[in-house]
Amino acid sequence: MGAFTNSRSTTPRPQRGLRPGIEFRRDRLTWVAYTLNAWFAYLQAAPVLVIAHLRDELDLSYSTAGLHVGAFAAGSMVAGAISARLERALGRRTLFWSAAALMGVGAIGLTAGRVAAMTVGSVLVMGLGGGLLLATIQAALADHHGERRAVALAETSLAASVGYVVLIGLLSLTAGLGAGWRVALLASLVVPLLAWWSNRRLAIDAAPQSSVVQGRLPGVFWIAAAMLFCTTAAEWSTTAWGATFVKDAADVSTDSAIALMAGYFGGVMAGRTLGSRLARRHDPARLIALALAVTAVGFAILWSCTAPAHALVGLSLLGIGLGNLFPMGVSVAVALASERAALASGRAVAMTSFAGLLAPLTVGPLADATSLTTALAIVPIMLALASVGLTLVCRARTQADGAPRTAAAPSCSTCSHTRGGRSRSWSPAIHPSKPNCRALCRAPGVNAHG
C-alpha cells in the first residue's frame, strides 16, 4: 500500500470542481464505450437474474447458486489484476475488442450448460472477459475526458443501467413467449458484433501517462478502493439475492419476482441519470454520501416488505442509491491517481470484483444456515463501513490540499534528460509541445527537474 500523497509528490491532487471553460463532448469513442458498457452490464446481470431459473432447472442450493455470481466476480478480479499489463502488451484497442469476444464466448457456454460445473465455468469466462472490457472502458474514458471523467463515468454507468432494464424486459418477453431465458442472452451478442464491424478501425489508444503499469499508488487511493469494496459488496448482495428475497418475502412466483426487479434496475437508471447531471457541478464525494443515505432507507423498506408493492418501493430506492455508488466511487479513486489511470482502473476493478466474489459466497452459506433475511444483514454493515471510508478519503484530500507545495505548478512526467545518471522530469505547462526536452525545464519558482 502506497503512502499518502505528500507535498513533493508529482501525482496531481484530485480537483473538487471543474473549470468552467472545459466542455464535455461525446464523440465516437465515447459512444462506443457507452454501448459496450451497456452490453457488459446486460451480461453481468444475466447470471444474477437467471439464478432462480437455474436453481429450479438444476436443483441448486443457495451456496451453489451463489457460485455463479462468485464466478463472474472471480474472473473480473483476475482481469483487474492483469488488465494494465495486457493493455501494454496488446494495445488498448486490441484488448478492448478481444475482451468483448471472450465475454461473448462465456455467454454462449452459459446458455449451453446443463450441469452446474459448466454453467459456473462459463460465467467465470464471462467475468474474465467482462472485467477486462470494463477496466479498458474506464481507463479510456478517464484518459479521453480528463477533468470531465466524473461525467463520462457517470454517463457510462447510466448506459449500464439501460442494459439492466433491457435485460429485464427481454427476460419478461421471452418468458411470455415461452422462448426461455437463453434466447434473451444469445440475442445480445449482435451488439458487440455490430459495434466491432462499424468501429474496428477506431483509435482507442492510451495516453502516455496511462502506460504506467508499475509503481506505488497513493495510500488514499487504497482507502477509496476499500470504500468501493464495501459499496460493491452491498450492491452485489442486493442484485444477486433481490429476486429470491422478494419471491419468499412477498410470496410471488419466480417470473413475478424477476419482473419486480425492474423497479430496482429502473431506480439504478433514474439515479444515474440524475447523478450524471449532478456530477457536472458537484464533488463526487458529496454525491456518494447522498447515495449512501438513500440506499440505507431503501434497504430498510425492502427488508421489512410483505407485499409486492412494498418490495417495489424498497427496490426502487435501493436502485437509486446503489446505482451511483460505483461510478462516483471509481471517479474519486481514479482521480487520486490520474497519472496512472489504467493501473488505478485495473486495481479498482480487482477490488470491486473481489467484493462481488465474497458477497454472494458469504450470503449464500449464511442463508442456508439461517435465512436469507438474516444473511442480507451484510448490506447495512457494508454501507456503514463505506461511510467510514468516505470520511477518511475526504479528510485525506483536505489535508493534502492544505499541505505546503514546493511547486504549485503543473504535474511532471518522465523526461529523456538525465543528470548524474538519474532520470529527470518535465513540466507539460512549461514545454507543452516538447515532452522529451533535452534541456532543464525552468520557470520562476519552479525547478521541474528537481
pLDDT digits (tens, 9 = 90+) for 17-44: 444 445 777 888 889 999 999 999 999 8
pLDDT above 90 coverage of the chain, percent: 27
For the segment 50-68, the average pLDDT, to the nearest whole number, is: 81
287-328 tens-digit pLDDT: 999 999 999 999 999 988 889 999 999 999 999 999 889 888
Calpha distance 382→1 (Å, rounded) = 22
Where along the chain do the CATH 1.20.1250.20 domains lie? 28-402
Three-state secondary structure call for residue 418: strand
Backbone angles phi, psi at 242, to 5 degrees: -60, -50
Residue 102 has pLDDT above 90, yes or no: yes
For the segment 252-265, the average pLDDT, to the nearest whole number, is: 85
DSSP state of 362: H
Q: Say whether pTM exceeds 0.75.
A: no
Structure confidence at residue 8 (pLDDT): 31
For the segment 208-220, the average pLDDT, to the nearest whole number, is: 61
- Tell me if 351 sits within 8 A of 229, measured CB to CB: yes
Structure confidence at residue 110 (pLDDT): 93
The model's confidence at residue 403, banded by pLDDT at 50, 70 and 90, is low
129-157 tens-digit pLDDT: 999 999 899 888 888 777 777 778 778 87
DSSP state of 147: G
For the segment 348-369, the average pLDDT, to the nearest whole number, is: 81
- Grid coordinates 473538487 are at which residue? 16
For the segment 170-189, the average pLDDT, to the nearest whole number, is: 89
- The residue ranking higher by pLDDT, 386 or 427, is 386
Structure confidence at residue 184 (pLDDT): 92
Ranges 47-56, 79-88, 128-137, 399-408: which has the least confidence? 399-408
The model's confidence at residue 402, banded by pLDDT at 50, 70 and 90, is low
Residue 447 has pLDDT above 60, yes or no: no
The model's confidence at residue 67, banded by pLDDT at 50, 70 and 90, is confident
Structure confidence at residue 61 (pLDDT): 80
What DSSP string runs through 232-253? Answer: HHHHHHHHHHHHHHHHHHTT--
364: left (phi over 0), alpha (psi -120 to 50) or beta: alpha
Mean per-residue pLDDT over the chain, rounded = 79
The model's confidence at residue 105, banded by pLDDT at 50, 70 and 90, is very high
Count Cβ neighbours within 10 Å for each residue of 406-418 and write b for 16 or more, e otherwise. Answer: ebebbbbbebebe
Structure confidence at residue 227 (pLDDT): 94
Calpha distance 419→290 (Å, rounded) = 50
For the segment 280-288, the average pLDDT, to the nearest whole number, is: 86
The model's confidence at residue 357, banded by pLDDT at 50, 70 and 90, is confident
Most confident listed range (126-135, 164-173, 437-446): 126-135
Structure confidence at residue 6 (pLDDT): 33
Residue 386 has pLDDT above 90, yes or no: yes
Question: Alpha-carbon torsion 298, 299, 304, 309, what sign?
Answer: positive
Calpha distance 393→399 (Å, rounded) = 10
Q: How far is CA 23 from CA 44, 219, 275, 280, 286, in A?
A: 32, 31, 18, 10, 22
Structure confidence at residue 448 (pLDDT): 37
What DSSP string runs through 7-32? Answer: TT--SPPPPSS--TTPPP---HHHHH
Residue 190 has pLDDT above 60, yes or no: yes
Domain at 28-402, CATH homologous superfamily: MFS general substrate transporter like domains (1.20.1250.20)
The model's confidence at residue 104, banded by pLDDT at 50, 70 and 90, is very high
Residues in the chain: 450
pLDDT above 70 coverage of the chain, percent: 80
- The residue ranking higher by pLDDT, 48 or 118, is 118
Residue 341 has pLDDT above 70, yes or no: no
